[in-house]
Amino acid sequence: QVQLVESGGGLVQAGGSPRLSCAASGFTLDNFAIGWFRQAPGKEREGVTCTSSGDGYTYYADSVKGRFTISRDNAKNTLYLQMNSVKAEDSGLYYCARGEIAALTGEHYYDYWGQGTQVTAAS
C-alpha cells in the first residue's frame, strides 16, 4: 500500500528554518519523481519544488528558489524540504506527492499524495 506521510510543520518565526519530512512506504522513493506542493487559504495549490527519479533534475518555484532545498534519504525512504528564511507568504498546507515525471505544474502527473502538514510563518 502506497503511503506518504508528512511531518515537521508548525508555527515558525519569519526568518526561521523548518524542515519538513515525507516518509514514503509501499514503494521505493528513488524510483519515482517526487514533489512538494503547498496551499494557502483561499488560494490554489501550487508546486514548490520537485525532483525526478534518481535526483536527475530538480525544479523550484521562483518564490522559493535560493531558500528551499529538496532532498531524499534513500536509506530511510524519506523526502525532505529544508526551508530557510521563511516568510509569512510561505504559510500553507504542505503536501508531498509521488509523480510520473517531475513537474511543478500539472498535478495530474502525481498519483499519490500525503495528507499535508501545516506551516504557519509568523511575521
Q: Could you tell me what percent of the chain has a pLDDT over 90?
A: 91
pLDDT digits 0-9 by tens, 18-40: 999 999 999 999 999 999 999 99
H or E element that contains 34: strand 33-39
Return d(Cα 87, Cα 91) in angstroms, integer. Answer: 8
**pLDDT value of position 82:** 98
What is the C-alpha to C-alpha distance for residues 11 and 63, in angstroms, rounded to an integer?
20
The letter for the amino acid at 81 is L
Give the pLDDT band (50/70/90) at residue 55: low
Burial 85-104 (b: 16+ CB within 10 A, else e): ebeeebbbbbbbbbbeebbb
Q: Kind and range of the H or E element at 72?
A: strand 68-73
